[in-house]
Structure 1
Amino acid sequence: MDERLTRKLRILADAAKYDASCASSGAPKRSAGRGGIGSTNRIGICHSYTPDGRCVSLLKILLTNYCLFDCAYCINRRSSNVERARFSVQEVVDITIAFYKRNYIEGLFLSSGIIRSPDYTMEQLVLVAKSLRQQHGYRGYIHLKTIPEASPWLVEQAGLWADRLSVNLELPTDEGLKSFAPEKQAGTIKAAMGQMRERIEEAEAERRSFSPAGQSTQLIVGADGASDADMLRTTANLYDRYALRRVYFSAFSPIPDSTSRLPAKAPPLQRENRLYQADWLLRHYEFGVEEIASATEGGMLDLEVDPKLAWALKNRARFPVDVNKADREMLLRVPGLGARAVDKIVRARRHTTLRLDDLKRLSGALKRSLPFLIAADHHPGGSTDRADLRARLVQPAAKQLALF
């Protein structure tokens, strides 16, 4: 790769790192020697998950970091004094195919600043995906960022060639968007999401391919005054109205020469993690958003304990629960019991009365669960009423950032 193209790649891969809707899995980085193409923090190779759960390496880049918009929170806003670059459609295609043939990547995540017009930018993104599919027979994963202001026809074209589409809402409230990104309209963004949902559902009903991995979005954490409860209410609404596969959270990163209305410091990284944990409860644990919000303080999630444990500590009167009698919904609310463990418990108790040793075989985190459950040979008595229960459970949990 020549020096000019390498420079573009480094600039536009670095510019793409702020988009969390292509999430890194934390998998080991591929290595091709010192400074080589396996360096994820230098040339934009990241890791993400396909719908079937496989971890894949993606080339994560922007088509360009030039932009007509001046969103206050964005490093690539038009008033930002950053180094700029722009790929041609053919350059993105050539890099993707070259990396794919060398087994550096299994897919492409492509976004862009807005240049000339939303339609022109969307057309360029579509041309990349179409060229890869039609001219090169490329069958790897493609995630395209869609431009909400672009024509519906172009968005439909994107869905024909991409595995996943996403449009970033960025801020959880209309007021926040008006304040920090006045050139964007929440209604336009949500209309684009609605259009994509309709096309995806139509394609599924007709058994044809249109963005088969669905759509996703990103919310920025800590840029405006939105609380965690606000973030989660918006998240739940997006899942319900637009059938999103994922809502990603990205902690705000202070940028040079930004408005004084933005925070001077980034929010605690733990806040982003707690939001992901709460999102997991919404999607996989049958929690309602107001249940989670009820366990917050001033609308903010507890940074010391995960949202599930915070809810349990706020609702001690509902514990302990009997694993041999409680319904699945209540078992899912027991700290330390994952959804798989709960399903195993429900199946196993049809054939036997569960004892503590049985639960230890079914769950790998039973220690945290003990104060909250009853088994045939285990009854914690009044342990949930102990004043020091929180202190006993917080310390070991603070050492790791796992979901539960």
Structure 2
Amino acid sequence: MAEASSDFAGTTPVREQHRFDEARLAQWMAAHIPGFAGPMHVEQFKGGQSNPTYRLRTPGADYVLRRKPPGALLKGAHAVEREARVMAELGAVGYPVPRVHALCTDEGVIGSWFYVMDMVEGRIFWDASFSTLPRDERPAMLDAMNAALAALHRIDPAAVGLADYGRPGGYVARQLARWSQQYLDDELAGRHPAMDRLVDWLREHLPASGETAITHGDFRVDNMIFHPTEPRVLAVLDWELSTLGDPLADFAYHAMMYRMPPDILGGIAGVDLQAAGLPDEAAYVAAYCRRTGRDGIPDLDYYISFNMFRFAAILHGIKGRVARGTAASADGEVMGERFARVATIAWEQASRVHR
């Protein structure tokens, strides 16, 4: 999971707890990646709360390596093999993802499973208002995100070899059960009254099971690389939470930016949208519906409340990893502290829903 803050931009020397035998990695790269040639210089991206991520610089090309973190891991978490698979399959049909070169499941190389992909050069933005761009360029950038997510949801999983990438139907119920259990089980991270109320409310108001599509799970502005000059998404990153799921829940997570403050997920709540040159939430939802052939999203408020809960649960997990000493990012403590705030925002959102 990436962090929506420019504080996480760029690279840093590899952190002590994430170091590995770089010579051993170079040997593996030479054996498994055509065209690889050293010398290789390794840096660590500042972001990457869940899976430590590295930039591998060589004279001929730059690569990105993502690995499972060292230490005790929760069951099913940090599935880099799933990230590698979904990007390889989507890339084969032209969806904008980095090219995946190889997956390594031999822990003897760097101490955990990892995969290597291309380094995609382009623009990364840390807030969905695109405030660093001229006003007249912003709407097209926002629309490019909308188009990229709609395109993902229109892909037939079976047609791209992903029919078994998850279970059809019941996505929200399964996600609610998963994240609720992780929240309740992680005693080191503590409990919060708003989060406890959310668990009960979401269970009581669960909508009927919807359709099934390939879902990203963390689709937001800082998980995309945009073309250097055009309003176009070159690469969608961070597929750790991807699965077969409910596309409306996936879209609601993305649209949640309209109800989150700028310092959380790069949200645009409180931004004067007209002055910023941006469409309002209703127009953004309508654009997605046009692209996916829908008349509307009746349960949007529930889906947004659910996604706020899920994001709070993710922050709660980061807080727990900090307590256990396995947080991938040096800024994990800051992210963990946001848990209580997001849980409160999520409960306030749920409290406004009239069903």
**Shorter-chain TM-score tier:** under 0.3
* Structure showing greater relative contact order (alpha-carbon pairs closer than 8 Å, 6 or more residues apart): 2
Give the number of the structure whose alpha-carbon radius of gyration is greater: 1
